Amino acid sequence: MNYKSVQPKKSLGQHFLTDLSIASRIADTVDAFSELPVLEVGPGMGVMTQFLMKKPRELKVVEIDDESVSFLRRNFSELEDKIIEDDFLKMHLYNVFGGRQFVLTGNYPYNISSQIFFRVLEHRDLIPGCTGMIQKEVAERLAASPGTKAYGILSVLLQAWYKVDYLFTVEPNVFNPPPKVRSAVVRLTRNDVQDLGCDERLFKRVVKTTFGQRRKMLRVSLRPLLSELGLSLAENTPFAKRISESFDLTRRPEQLGIPEFIALTNAINSCSEKGQ
């Protein structure tokens, strides 16, 4: 098979994996989710697809690049009715396997990798497992612990619903063209959480607002959101008193674990509903 048949397109963030051993290792990451069907994002020329096809489970692939789709049809006749020509970020995921849960995997385009994981989060009831290769920096953010520089919005929002495992690092020389950064393979496994115990929309706003000024203390970074909700940290206000009893707002967001973000969200929500 000629892996130079499709020209990588910068506009699509394409970096084609050429190392078969690594492709096989990434394909094997779906084995942690036995029996579930698999959706591969961005199969390109099928270097990973060929190993996924050997597994005894239903497989579909979604590809936005016409040239790659033509290559797959020419070289993988077994995929003929399994190729979805669409944009993963826009397609209706509940239609892929008739509403059944599935595992997502792929050598994800680096320019949309964060968007892919936010989409997974939106469909967490449908996607109990997600594996794949992304840029190392993003992988480190996904798996980061509180108190580290990599810990941020993606870390908190994803780890609230998934267990994140950083599996292994991949060097640039196994791609065409070689990316300017190192890559990594991750695995997301849905945890048992069904309800965060707080207003989820407000939780997201608190996380995004505080990390939007991650070098600022919480009492500073929260100010715009609190003002919008009619709350004030001015001395002697009911909200300021309640918060001061539970939180040290001189801390920065990377110092808070998920339970603390949930508690902070509940405190804000409770006071905003009471008009305090």
Supply the range of the domain harboring residue 261.
200-273
Q: Is residue 195 part of a domain?
A: no
Q: State residue 59 phi and psi, 5-degree precision.
A: -130, 135
Q: Is residue 231 part of a domain?
A: yes
Tens digit of each residue's pLDDT (9 = 90 or more) over 65-90: 999 999 999 999 999 899 999 999 99
At residue 240, the pLDDT reads 82
Pairwise CA distance, residues 32 & 231, whole Å = 46
- Give the mean model confidence (pLDDT) for residues 102-117: 94
Pairwise CA distance, residues 186 & 72, whole Å = 25
Q: Is residue 94 part of a domain?
A: yes
Enter the pTM of the model.
0.92
Domain count, the chain: 2
pLDDT exceeds 90 at position 267: no
- Are 182 and 215 part of one and the same domain? no
Q: Of 190, 210, 230, which marks where a domain is finished?
A: 190
Q: Of 190, 218, 242, which marks where a domain is finished?
A: 190
DSSP count for the chain of H helices, then E strands:
11, 9
- Are 214 and 120 part of one and the same domain? no
At residue 9, the pLDDT reads 62
| CATH number for the domain harbouring residue 168 | 3.40.50.150
| CATH number for the domain harbouring residue 263 | 1.10.8.100
